[in-house]
Amino acid sequence: MTKTLLRGRVLSFRSEPAGPDDADAYLYIEDGALLVADGLIEGVGEFPTVAAQAPDAVLIDHRPHLLMPGFIDTHIHFPQVQVIASWGAQLLDWLNTYTFPEETRFADPDHARAMACAFYDQLTAHGTTTALAFCSVHRSSADAFFEEAERRNMAMIGGKVMMDRNAPEALLDTAQTGYDDSKALIDAWHGKGRARYAITPRFAITSTPEQLDMAGALVAEYPDCFVQTHLSENRDEIAFTKSLYPKARDYLDVYQNHGLLGPRTFLGHSIHLEPREIDALAETGAHPAFCPTSNLYLGSGLFDDAGLRDRGISNSIATDVGAGTSYSMLQTLNEAYKILQLQGQILHPLRAFHWITRGNAAALGMQDRIGTLEVGTDADIVVLDSRATGAMALRMERAETLAEELFVLQIMGDDRSIAETYVAGVAQSNVSQIRAPENA
């Protein structure tokens, strides 16, 4: 079997950096290499040492670029690839005007398959190798999502949304069909290869209490599945939720009452939280998913990262395309930096790059497989070019430290900085070129 030797500057995190000077938190090798075989990282270290491990390996020289673990996006909507950049509304209008109509198109399996292909092309072009994603209400959309991920050997997590009210008829399931279809998808996909299932009640507004009961029953039956939904994104959404669930103590209580909270639960946005909700997040180990470009775009509000972290809550970070305005986790960090600035908080570059790799992996409980370059883990790797644009190259002339370089990528980087993405050891630039005509 052919082995591949990737040469470049290697950067991988061991733990969350406590501050800009915490060099113990990461491995950085100036002339480094990764030995990749059979989809796994078989060696990591100084180039001469790793090269000697496999003299016959095919060498790919990525110098002077950085080799990092592929990025992880913990909240994204697969059926919204053609919704991104839809103009002029806040959450509920945006959903009704643009998003719901677009998602009805995913009833057509051919459309879903074509969009799944386009979706993964975008993810890998932006350096993302794993995502936790919402599909549409249609079971076939989730099949398309998982089939295409399987073809590319990507570690993807997703689920069909359960929604049985407050949306167009064509997008509604029922408490029973939502349960049955989710169960069938779990049986078909959860744990198949690199796929994992996420039980996905869209949000409290689009589910009846009966449907949330059924979602809770699935969580009880399949405790190793993920759960994903939305929480406290927008003031009108919160008011509407409270009117639909008048007995709930607060928004989060709706999910808590139905057995949906635990360490495998991801709650998109989690912006306007009450003290009791923060207590409940800390107690249950559920993860807020911070979606900076989306929160600015829809005017939703400012996520209080430090406030939640101080309570021991582990926040993940995500794009939320199509309300999010970029697939790039680098651009996501850029906007995150600014949202935290507005609140007197700081996102230093080492913590930022830990967050989109090992940090998100740890929130998912997958840090032993992804978000790291340790030997024995999956060879999902991104190759980063800090001088991808003229403006970046100019700035980089004055950058002296690794942290400064990372900050240039964090603020100015996007897909142009992704020189290559490897999924389970396979370079995706080639995969897309081969597949594109077939699927056009």
- Please give the residue ranges that form the binding site for Zn ion (CB under 5 A): 268, 320
Under the binding rule (CB under 6 A), the answer on residue 233 touching ligand GUN is yes
Task: Supply 103's token pair.
Answer: 């998602």
- Scored b (16 or more CB within 10 A) or e, 80-118 reads bbebbebeeebbbebbeebbbebbbbbeeeebbbbbbbb
Taking the mean position of all CA atoms in its chain, how far away is CA 149?
14
- Which CB atom, from 194 or from 230, has the smaller least distance to ligand GUN? 230
SS3 assignment for 411-426: HHCCHHHEEEEEECCE
Name residues contacting ligand GUN, limited to 268-297 (CB under 6 A). 294
257: three-class secondary structure by DSSP: helix
Q: Report in angstroms how near the CB of residue 226 gets to ligand GUN at its nearest.
A: 17
Name residues contacting ligand GUN, limited to 95-114 (CB under 6 A). 95, 99
- Which CB atom, from 128 or from 294, has the smaller least distance to ligand GUN? 294
Contact partner, 122, from ligand GUN, Zn ion, none, Cβ < 5-8 Å per class:
none
Q: Report in angstroms how near the CB of residue 15 gets to ligand GUN at its nearest.
A: 31
Under the binding rule (CB under 6 A), the answer on residue 432 touching ligand GUN is no
Q: Which of 203, 337, 355, 422 binds ligand GUN (CB under 6 A)?
A: 203
Taken as a whole, the chain contains a residue count of 440
- Which CB atom, from 320 or from 378, has the smaller least distance to Zn ion? 320
Q: Report in angstroms how near the CB of residue 207 gets to ligand GUN at its nearest.
A: 10
Under the binding rule (CB under 6 A), the answer on residue 323 touching ligand GUN is yes
- Which CB atom, from 202 or from 369, has the smaller least distance to ligand GUN? 202
Name residues contacting ligand GUN, limited to 116-135 (CB under 6 A). none
Q: Which of 9, 230, 348, 369 binds ligand GUN (CB under 6 A)?
A: 230
Q: Which of 113, 202, 258, 369 binds ligand GUN (CB under 6 A)?
A: 202
Under the binding rule (CB under 6 A), the answer on residue 354 touching ligand GUN is no
Q: H or E stretch including 132? A: strand 128-134
- For 141, how many CA atoms within 13 A lie in the half-sphere containing its CB? 26
Question: Are 257 and 238 within 8 A, CB to CB?
Answer: no
Q: Report in angstroms how near the CB of residue 392 gets to Zn ion at its nearest.
A: 30
Report the alpha-carbon distance of residue 301 to residue 293 in Å, rounded: 11
Kindly determine how many residues on this chain lie close enough to bind ligand GUN according to the rule CB under 6 A: 11
Q: Report in angstroms how near the CB of residue 408 gets to Zn ion at its nearest.
A: 29
Measured CA distances, 198 to 119, 182, 194, 210, 285 (Å): 18, 9, 13, 19, 16
Residue 201: strand pairing partners: 162
Amino acid at 418: I
Contact partner, 7, from Zn ion, ligand GUN, none, Cβ < 5-8 Å per class:
none
> By beta-carbon distance, which residue lies closest to ligand GUN?
323
Question: Are 174 and 214 within 8 A, CB to CB?
Answer: no
Task: Supply 88's token pair.
Answer: 């002029």
Report the alpha-carbon distance of residue 431 to residue 415 in Å, rounded: 17
Measured CA distances, 75 to 159, 271, 358, 402, 422 (Å): 12, 15, 16, 28, 21
> By beta-carbon distance, which residue lies closest to Zn ion?
268
Residues that bind ligand GUN (CB under 6 A): 77, 91, 95, 99, 202-203, 230, 233, 294, 320, 323
